[in-house]
Amino acid sequence: MKTYLQKMGRSLQLPVAVLPAAALLQGIGHLMPQSWGLAQFMQAGGVAILNQIALLFAVGLAFGMSKDKDGAAALAGLVAYIIPVGILTPANVSLLMGISVKSVDPAFNFVSGNVLVGIIAGLSAGALYNRFHETKLPMALSFFSGKRLVPIIASLVMLLVSAVLLFAWPTIYDALVNFGKFFINLGAVGAGLYGFFNRLLIPTGLHQALNQVFWFNVAGINDIGNFWANKGVKGVTGMYQAGFFPVMMFGLPAGAYAIYRNALPERKKETAGLMMAGAFASFFTGVTEPLEFSFMFVAWPLYVLHAVFVGLSLGVAAFMHWTAGFTFSAGLVDYLLSIHMPIANMPLMLLVQGIFMAVIYYFGFNFAIKKFNLMTPGREPLNTDAVDEVEVSDNDDKYSLVAKKVYAGIGGYENIKVIDNCTTRLRLQLFDTDKADQSLIKTSGAAGVNILDKNNIQIIIGTEVQFVADALTKLYDAKTPLTKAKSTTESEEKSEPAKEEPVSDVKSGTETFYSVANGKLEDIEQVPDDTFSQKMLGDGYAVVPTDGQIVSPVDGTITTIFPTKHAMGIKTEDGLEVLLHMGIDTVQLKGEPFDVKVTDGQAVRHGDLLASVDLDAIIAAGKKTDMMVIVTNMSVVSMMKFKNLDRQVTKDDDVVKITTK
């Protein structure tokens, strides 16, 4: 259920991502003199988008919830939406119920355009696609097999859903409206409560469901839609959005500064980098996850305090009737667009409120961190207790040192069942993953640790994982014992001489990356594998290919070809280190679908054939064919400028320009 809700939360961002287009059209339209035809033209375009929000949710959710993000799922979402909207009109309900149109419950006037109907349609279509998109019908009906079957099944299922809604919709709608009226009647207190629960539910992903009630036309509130359409009451419309601006533009960055100030002296530098990046994202775009997740779990009382502050900010803004709006998030960009809307009320006062929120956040966070000794980033104390360790020697290379820390962190020989790896991660089976010490494992330099269940754990190492896996296997085969020693951090500080930083061979410049195949260009965040989608190895893109000819995305030199042939490394002329990973979990196929056409050390140009891949064999093995292109040394990258993701591409199409520092 947790996985489903998280996937649903990500999918809800697809239709929401369309709304900035409406904000741009409306915002620019209202900057112009209203007597201009162009101003009215642009505003009409923005309203056109806002009037179809429910349809966008149906299509976007169906697409996002489908296994392989296929257009057939989106089409099924469209079909699933128009069936109940078309059937449950007052005129049709009158005919079906055998009553006059005047006697039809008014709730049926609000089926069309209701986001809840769009969500029901989208979730239903996505589930039906996942269930039936590979179904094979008898020969006579074979044309309708597979993906073509999904919209047909969706129409039949939504007929049944419409029959249920024919009787249930008035009750459902009345309950939603009463819920909305309850919060509206609470006024500023209601806005504050919404803000508090909005933040509190983020760890579960359920905040997205809550947002739909207040921001869109689910319960009659429709705060975002009404704001950008200039509907409602000035000083009231926007009350469920305005209070986020002082938090995201001022409060959270100030909280980040408090976290930095409380970091240990030896960890201030690393903490500064983390906090500065998060603070900038929060201020400029309103994206708060990098900051919030940095302390959400390690210092949860601080996160609860943050939720209280958000509620306070929304309550104050609503009480003072200071309003502004957003379509993406409450950052500087949306603020500048929204303050020109006629329905915005005293939006400049939100900046004044922001200064006060910055003070509250800084001193509130500072007090809580010190008073309760919260382990915010940079405050984790050096472990001076005895820890499990493996004896090191002068003959150990860097892979052996990493392996020894991992070996100790997972409990040594007694806790290991199976050692395996794919291109970037160790895939280990343990007798008991509860015995794994994640903090000790991460001292090895691992990018992440993912505990799947009681026996399976994945440790993200990077493209050199094969060498670490080999060293780990040697430790296991030798039944290497664990010893108790002081913290590795402390002992290294005392015994190891300072090391000179390696001289970077990266050149400053801009490189163009091209598609690796003919097919569908894919945002890396949409790849159905957490290691890639969460950018644990770096940023990049993917292509879902339509044929098996995989080419070089860039000019460079082949640096690594993995033994299982499913991945290779390329170093560009400017020094970018690129990982090409062919398929998901294809390491298990032992190289069979891959015919590699290049060798280690070979120079390649973009468009040169790297490998011929049997896509049918990958699919038959139950694997995905996504071809990922990842820049693994992102520390040298200053900018990545993508060119129209989520489109059909050929091998000659450029995808992204990457500028090195």
Catalytic residues: 422, 581
In the numeric block, the tokens 């196929």 are attached to 589
Q: In this structure, how many other beta carbons lie within 10 angstroms of the beta carbon of residue 496? A: 8
| 233 backbone dihedrals φ, ψ, rounded to 5° | -105, 125
Strand partners, 582: 627
Radius of gyration from C-alpha coordinates of the chain = 28
Strand partners, 345: 323
Which candidate, 207, 154, 175, places its Cα nearest to that of 329?
A: 207
Q: Write out the DSSP string of 220-274.
A: S--HHHHHHTT-S-TTTTTTTTTTHHHIIIIIHHHHHHHHHHTS-GGGHHHHHHH
Contacts of 125 (CB under 8 A, 6+ apart): 58, 61, 62, 65, 73, 76, 77, 79, 80, 150, 154
What HEC string does 293-362 produce? HHHCCCCHHHHHHHHHHHHHHHHHHHHHCCECCCCCCCCHHHHHHHCCCCCCECCCHHHHHHHHHHHHHH
Please give the C-alpha separations between residue 634 and each of 430, 579, 630, 641, 660, in angstroms, as whole numbers.
32, 12, 9, 14, 9
Extract long-range pairs of 102-109: CB within 8 Å, 24+ residues apart.
Answer: 105/169, 105/170, 107/169, 107/170, 107/173, 107/174, 108/169, 108/170
Q: DSSP letter at 187?
A: T
**Which segments of 482-563 are extended strands (E)?**
483-485, 510-514, 519-523, 539-545, 549-551, 556-561
Tokens for 479, please give them: 């039944």
CA distance 83 to 158: 6
Task: Give the chain's end-to-end CA distance (angstroms, integer).
Answer: 43
- 237, 323 in Cβ contact below 8 A? yes
In the numeric block, the tokens 């319960």 are attached to 219
Tokens for 343, please give them: 């329905």
| 189 backbone dihedrals φ, ψ, rounded to 5° | -65, -40
- 557, 578 in Cβ contact below 8 A? no
In the numeric block, the tokens 């949306």 are attached to 334
Strand partners, 521: 543
CA distance 230 to 252: 29
Which candidate, 436, 442, 483, places its Cα nearest to that of 461?
A: 442
CA distance 661 to 538: 16
Q: In this structure, how many other beta carbons lie within 10 angstroms of the beta carbon of residue 225? A: 25
Extract long-range pairs of 267-276: CB within 8 Å, 24+ residues apart.
Answer: 267/378, 267/379, 267/380, 268/378, 270/378, 271/377, 271/378, 274/377, 275/377
